[in-house]
Structure 1
Amino acid sequence: MSCIFCKIVSGEIPSKKLYEDDKVLAFYDISPEAPVHFLVIPKEHIKSANEINEENASIISHIFVVINKLVKELNINETGYRIVNNCGKDGGQTVDHMHFHVLGQRDLKWPPG
């Protein structure tokens, strides 16, 4: 297994876990771009949003339910936050395992870059 996120899910690589259930793992980014910056990933290896299909689509809604829970716990639900999913090389995806960045507690400009 060469996927860094699969290694984090398996516990082979440590992470600062924020949330875990049978479907997803949320952990803090090791190079945060905001005071609050965490990732939510499916435990199942899904390379990118391009691989979402009828069989695995329910994980996306579950990820957003988990994000909603976590932003409330971290008190950024009222002030605002950004959810980012990069897809493919031109989209800025650097790990080939679908993941969602959640950033908050600072003014996030648009366009992002």
Structure 2
Amino acid sequence: MDTDCLFCRIVAGEIPATVVHETDTTLAFRDIEPKAPVHVLVIPKDHHPDIAALALADPGVAADVLAAAAAVAETEGLRTDGFRLIVNNGRHAGQEVAHVHAHVLGGAPLGPMVSR
């Protein structure tokens, strides 16, 4: 656990979150500033700063994050109409918390994400 990490503190129960899915290795909870009707963050319970670091350190947990995201999409009723799964890696990609996290977004048509 990184004691300065917001998501590590959520995993530890020090900061409240609305948990929607949990496994031995992952935690999924609602984003406090949702960008879609459904906006859930899926994180590994162990601290990894970004998806590249996680994939190199523990590919099995990286797969667990994807499986948890799919489970969240199913539970939230997003599989039929679709959902967006976003993992930002680093500052230029828009990663704001240095603990890898996947955004599961859906519940309405989602517009384009990248513009120039």
Distance of 1:40 and 1:52 partners within structure 2: 13
Residue in 2 that maps onto 1:103: 105
What is the deviation of 1:65? 1.4
- Give the AA of the match of 1:5: F
Secondary structure at the residue paired with 2:39?
strand
Q: Which structure carries more helix by proportion?
A: 2
Helix, strand or coil at the partner of 1:61: helix
**What is the correspondence of 1:47-66 to structure 2 with a 5 Å cutoff?**
47-66=49-68
Q: Secondary structure at the match of 2:63?
A: helix
Q: Distance in 2 between matches of 1:111 and 1:37?
A: 15
1:69-110 Cα offsets, whole Å, 9 max, x none, are 221111110101000011111010000000000000111112
Q: Which runs of 5+ in 2 are unaligned?
A: none
The alpha carbon displacement at 1:111 in A equals: 3.6
1:38 alignment partner in structure 2: 40
Q: Which runs of 5+ in 1 are unaligned?
A: none
CA-atom RMSD, angstroms?
A: 1.3
Counterpart secondary structure, 1:79: coil
Q: Which runs of 4+ in 1 moved over 6 A?
A: none
* TM-score (ref. length: structure 1): 0.93
**Number of the residue aligned with 2:83:** 81
CA deviations on 1:18-55 (whole Å, 9 max, x unpaired) are 01121000000000000000000000100002313454
For 1:112 and 1:75, locate their aligned partners in 2 and report how far apart those are by CA, in whole Å. 25
Count of aligned residue pairs for this structure pair? 113
Name the counterpart of 1:13. Answer: 15
Say whether the 8 Å CA contact 2:51–2:62 is kept in structure 1: no
User: What code does the residue aligned with 1:108 have?
Assistant: L
